[in-house]
């Protein structure tokens, strides 16, 4: 934003200082992510920029860590990735179904005890993860679901539903209920009304809540650390183990893949948000 | 038609009643939609958390190990040495424990109650194999003179209740001593209080740093034209969507001794090459990494509040003679307070329960209370103590959450 011509010099200085501070903060936020990218192509085993890399010598770069990630002999990443995706997908589906139903009920103006129930439903988001982890572990151990995929999926549904509830409730806040009444008065049954009228309109909210649930599950490590056995290891658990024991460049290769994934998710979420705002008639 | 006559619906039911029924039906319908999730959460989440409470006060271990002794002790008033039956019952209980090789647990537990109990019990374990039948009181007292001391028997009796709040006392470095008074542990063993205060300190300063950094950029994002601010928003949202472990890993690379941050310090001449400061595995690492990781949670609520503030308010203030500084502090800042409250409490709640980042970059001096809970869950297996600490932390968070709810309302949380 350009300053008007009549701005006094000391305000001008102050303004540039402010822009400089903002620049520093943005740099602080985003720069760490880009350190990983070049280092994951390091030809050496060390996690520092070698002299060759500083000279941009092509020999100093290689894709060996990516090969190691995919083909490595004792590599756990294949299994971990498979588990991560299975768990995240089922947890997302579960969160979406339970969360959307609950949000529909919560946004009805007839809902009794709304505040209390809302607080209960989003409590997994507020309670520190370590406490959720301990409590869920006690429960899963008692019902014999510790160290099973199902146990971890259920745990991630618990952690993921608050996001769906919040996003779908927000979408429904601008929802015109007379449309569904019109549908019923024209003879549509409630299920049909939901599938044909309500769902298409709230879909952006549902999907973006689902994205949150997916990322929560895909990135979750505290609860999985309590629950997982050897067969249920996920990408975050493997990264956690790797970071604790030895920081190898293979981890950076995995991290780079995860950053690419998060860029994809960011783009999807952003497109959805705009579509949702357009549908709800919020123009800026 | 008289005014007394009730209006009827088509079914012939009075309209008022019919409406009431419809209302009731709607209420049930709405409630039924919420029921699946509510039941699911109550069973798998709320009840287990409540169950942590019963686990944290559960203290049946010693009671179960010495069943006969406690039965015999019911009659004993604790003033004089206990009668022969108690000695006999204790001998029988202890014999079973020694044979099953579980006496070690009892020794440790009773040693907590009375210092020096362990050696007395160990000696008894060795000697009691040669005991003859009858007159156990004499025989036990002969093994060690401390068995004549009524304090040791009182210590056993004190351990009788199946429920205890001692884990909570331990969580704040206190214990109840031989006379049943609550006292502090020795000064050099007060580790938990250090952890609590460190957790609060880290959470407070991380919140403060986040606020100081987030305020200018949220303001910039809210005032810039859309096409620039959308681009800059990516800088906030990309870290927000990126895996926590990836971001922690990048800080581990940056902050290591041969890392880029140290390289930079050497390059600008702040430190010499052979004297690179240790920035990881201590509090500095925890502060830096946590601030960057939690920063988006501060920026987003601030941004959504600042977006609603009309720029004409500041212009009006200035046109009425306020300097930009005065206009900012009198007009703009007060309007952003809801956003500040939301952001600060969100970051504080997240920071107070942080586990992964401190465990990886914190080292010994940068770990927080969550790490201690995880340690007791996984290493010492003292689950009741872990539960007690967890509940203490939870209480703190719930208080903050309650304040948050009063100030901003939970329905006002916005994501992205």
Residues B167-193 pLDDT 10s = 888 888 888 776 667 888 887 778 888
* A45 and A125 assigned to the same domain: no
Pairs from B166-172 (Cβ < 8 Å, separation ≥ 24)? B166/B59, B167/B56, B167/B57, B167/B384, B167/B385, B167/B387, B167/B388, B168/B56, B168/B388, B168/B392, B170/B385, B170/B388, B171/B385, B171/B388, B171/B389, B171/B392, B172/B196
pLDDT in tens, A45-99: 777 777 777 777 777 777 877 887 777 766 788 888 999 999 999 999 999 999 9
Pairs from B178-183 (Cβ < 8 Å, separation ≥ 24)? B178/B113, B178/B114, B178/B151, B178/B154
Lowest-pLDDT choice from A96-100, B94-98, B274-278, B310-314: B274-278
What values do phi and psi take at B378, rounded to 5?
-100, -35
Residue B65: band (very low, low, confident or very high) from pLDDT cuts 50, 70, 90? confident
**Residue A256 CB: number of other CB atoms within 10 A?**
21
Most confidently modeled of A18-27, A101-110, A260-269, B163-172? A18-27
Indicate whether A2 belongs to any domain: no
pLDDT in tens, B119-147: 888 888 888 778 887 788 888 888 888 88
Q: Is residue B384 pLDDT above 60, yes or no?
A: yes
Q: Which residue has the higher pLDDT, B11 or A82?
A: A82
ipTM reported for the complex surpasses 0.90: no
The answer to whether A135 contacts B405, with C-beta atoms less than 8 Å apart, is: no
**How far A219 CA lies from chain B's nearest CA (Å)?**
6
Residue A283: band (very low, low, confident or very high) from pLDDT cuts 50, 70, 90? very low
SS3 of residue B366 by DSSP = coil
Q: Does B84 touch chain A (CB under 8 A)?
A: no
Looking at beta carbons, which residues of chain B come within 8 Å of A138?
48, 51-52, 55, 383
Q: Is residue B46 pLDDT above 90, yes or no?
A: yes
Q: Is residue A284 pLDDT above 70, yes or no?
A: no
SS3 of residue B182 by DSSP = strand
Which one-letter DSSP state was computed for residue B410? G
Indicate whether A171 belongs to any domain: yes
Q: Spelled out in words, what is the top-level CATH class assigned to the domain B191-412?
A: mainly alpha
The answer to whether A98 contacts B397, with C-beta atoms less than 8 Å apart, is: no
Rounded Cα distance between B244 and A262, Å, is 11
pLDDT in tens, A186-244: 999 988 998 888 888 888 889 889 999 999 999 999 999 999 888 888 999 989 988 88
Residues of the domain holding A189: 78-279
Residue B416: band (very low, low, confident or very high) from pLDDT cuts 50, 70, 90? very low
CA angle B308, B314, B320 (to 5 degrees): 150
Round to the nearest angstrom and report the end-to-end CA distance of chain A.
Answer: 18
Rounded Cα distance between A20 and B78, Å, is 75
* A152 and A206 assigned to the same domain: yes
Of B52, B243, B360, the CB nearest to A262: B243
* A150 and A42 assigned to the same domain: no
* A113 and A40 assigned to the same domain: no
Indicate whether A17 belongs to any domain: no
* A41 and A169 assigned to the same domain: no
Rounded Cα distance between B25 and B20, Å, is 9
Q: What is chain A's mean pLDDT, rounded?
A: 86
Domain count, chain A: 2
What crossing angle do the helices spanning A77-106 and B15-41 adopt, rounded to 10°? Answer: 160
* A225 and A273 assigned to the same domain: yes
Indicate whether A67 belongs to any domain: no
Round to the nearest angstrom and report the end-to-end CA distance of chain B.
Answer: 60
Residue B57: band (very low, low, confident or very high) from pLDDT cuts 50, 70, 90? confident
* Residues β-bridged to residue B359: none
Q: Is residue B2 pLDDT above 80, yes or no?
A: no
DSSP B75-133: T--SSSPPPHHHHHHHHHHHHHHHHTT-HHHHHHHHHHHSTTHHHHHHHHHHHGGGPPS
pTM: 0.83
Exposed/middle/buried for A272, CB within 10 Å: 0-12, 13-18, 19+? buried
The pLDDT assigned to B290 comes to: 93
* A42 and A132 assigned to the same domain: no
The pLDDT assigned to B37 comes to: 94
Indicate whether A71 belongs to any domain: no
Domain boundaries, chain B: 8-57, 61-162, 191-412
Report residue A95 as tokens.
Answer: 């969160």
Report residue A249 as tokens.
Answer: 């460049």
SS3 of residue B14 by DSSP = strand
Handedness of CA B4, B9, B12, B17 (dihedral sign): negative
Report residue B303 as tokens.
Answer: 């941004």
Rounded Cα distance between B152 and B113, Å, is 9
Closest-CA residue of B relative to A217 is B243
Q: Does A145 touch chain B (CB under 8 A)?
A: no
* A115 and A219 assigned to the same domain: yes
Mean pLDDT of B341-350: 88
* A160 and A189 assigned to the same domain: yes
Residue B391: band (very low, low, confident or very high) from pLDDT cuts 50, 70, 90? very high
Lowest-pLDDT choice from A262-271, B36-45, B176-185, B255-264: B176-185
Residue A111: band (very low, low, confident or very high) from pLDDT cuts 50, 70, 90? confident
Residue B1: band (very low, low, confident or very high) from pLDDT cuts 50, 70, 90? very low
Report residue A237 as tokens.
Answer: 């658990």
Q: Is residue A43 pLDDT above 90, yes or no?
A: no
Q: What size, in residues, is chain A?
A: 284
* A168 and A200 assigned to the same domain: yes
DSSP B188-208: GG-HHHHHHHHHHHHHHHHHH
């Amino acid at each position: 934003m350009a300053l008007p011509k009549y701005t006094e010099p000391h305000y001008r200085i102050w303004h540039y200082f402010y822009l400089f501070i903002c620049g520093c903060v943005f740099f602080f936020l985003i720069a760490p992510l880009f350190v990983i990218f070049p280092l994951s192509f390091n030809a050496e085993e060390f996690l520092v920029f070698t002299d060759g890399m500083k000279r941009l010598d092509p020999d100093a770069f290689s894709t060996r860590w990516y090969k190691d990630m995919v083909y490595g002999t004792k590599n756990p990443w294949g299994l971990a990735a498979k588990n991560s995706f299975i768990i995240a997908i089922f947890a997302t589906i579960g969160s979406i179904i339970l969360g959307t139903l609950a949000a529909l009920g919560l946004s009805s103006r007839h809902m009794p005890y709304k505040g209390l129930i809302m607080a209960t439903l989003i409590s997994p988001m507020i309670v520190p993860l370590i406490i959720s982890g301990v409590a869920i572990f006690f429960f899963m151990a008692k019902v014999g679901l510790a160290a099973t995929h199902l146990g971890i999926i259920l745990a991630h549904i618990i952690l993921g539903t608050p996001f769906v509830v919040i996003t779908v409730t927000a979408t429904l806040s601008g929802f015109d209920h007379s449309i569904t009444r019109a549908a019923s008065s024209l003879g549509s049954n409630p299920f049909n009304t939901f599938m044909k009228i309500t769902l298409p309109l709230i879909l952006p909210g549902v999907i973006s809540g689902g994205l949150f649930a997916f990322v929560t599950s895909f990135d979750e490590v505290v609860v999985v650390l309590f629950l997982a056995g050897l067969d249920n290891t996920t990408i975050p658990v493997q990264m956690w183990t790797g970071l604790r024991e030895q920081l190898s460049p293979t981890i950076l290769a995995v991290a780079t893949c995860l950053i690419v994934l998060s860029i994809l998710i960011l783009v999807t979420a952003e497109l959805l948000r705009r579509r949702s705002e357009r549908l709800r008639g919020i123009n800026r | 038609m008289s005014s007394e006559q009730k209006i009827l619906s088509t079914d012939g039911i009075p309209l008022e009643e019919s409406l009431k029924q419809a209302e009731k039906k709607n209420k049930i319908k709405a409630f039924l939609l919420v029921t699946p999730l509510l039941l699911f959460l109550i069973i798998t989440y709320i009840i287990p958390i409540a169950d942590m409470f019963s686990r944290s006060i559960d203290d049946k271990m010693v009671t179960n190990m010495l069943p006969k002794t406690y039965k015999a002790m019911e009659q004993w008033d604790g003033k004089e040495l206990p009668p022969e039956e108690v000695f006999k019952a204790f001998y029988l209980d202890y014999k079973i424990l020694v044979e099953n090789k579980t006496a070690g647990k009892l020794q440790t537990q009773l040693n907590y109650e009375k210092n020096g109990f362990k050696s007395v019990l160990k000696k008894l374990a060795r000697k009691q194999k040669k005991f003859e039948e009858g007159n156990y009181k004499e025989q036990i007292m002969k093994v060690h003179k401390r068995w004549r001391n009524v304090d040791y028997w009182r210590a056993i009796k004190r351990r009788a209740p199946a429920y205890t709040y001692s884990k909570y006392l331990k969580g704040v470095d206190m214990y109840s001593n031989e006379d049943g008074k609550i006292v502090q542990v020795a000064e050099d063993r007060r580790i938990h209080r250090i952890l609590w205060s460190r957790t609060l300190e880290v959470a407070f300063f991380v919140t403060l740093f986040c606020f100081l950094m987030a305020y200018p950029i949220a303001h910039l994002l809210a005032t810039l034209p859309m096409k620039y601010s959308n681009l800059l928003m990516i800088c906030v949202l990309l870290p927000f969507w990126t895996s926590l472990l990836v971001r922690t890993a990048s800080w581990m690379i940056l902050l290591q001794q041969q890392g880029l941050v140290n390289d930079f310090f050497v390059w600008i001449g702040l430190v010499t090459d052979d004297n690179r400061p240790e920035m990881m595995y201590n509090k500095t690492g925890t502060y830096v990494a946590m601030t960057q990781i939690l920063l988006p949670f501060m920026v987003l609520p601030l941004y959504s509040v600042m977006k609603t503030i009309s720029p004409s308010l500041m212009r009006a203030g200035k046109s009425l003679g306020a300097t930009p500084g005065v206009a900012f502090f009198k007009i703009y800042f007060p309007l952003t307070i809801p956003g500040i409250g939301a952001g600060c409490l969100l970051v504080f709640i997240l920071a107070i329960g942080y586990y992964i980042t401190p465990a990886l970059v914190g080292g010994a001096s940068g770990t927080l209370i969550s790490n201690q809970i995880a340690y007791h869950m996984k290493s010492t297996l003292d689950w009741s103590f872990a539960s007690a600490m967890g509940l203490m932390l939870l209480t703190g968070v719930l208080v903050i959450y309650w304040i948050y709810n009063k100030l901003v309302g939970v329905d006002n949380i916005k994501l992205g």
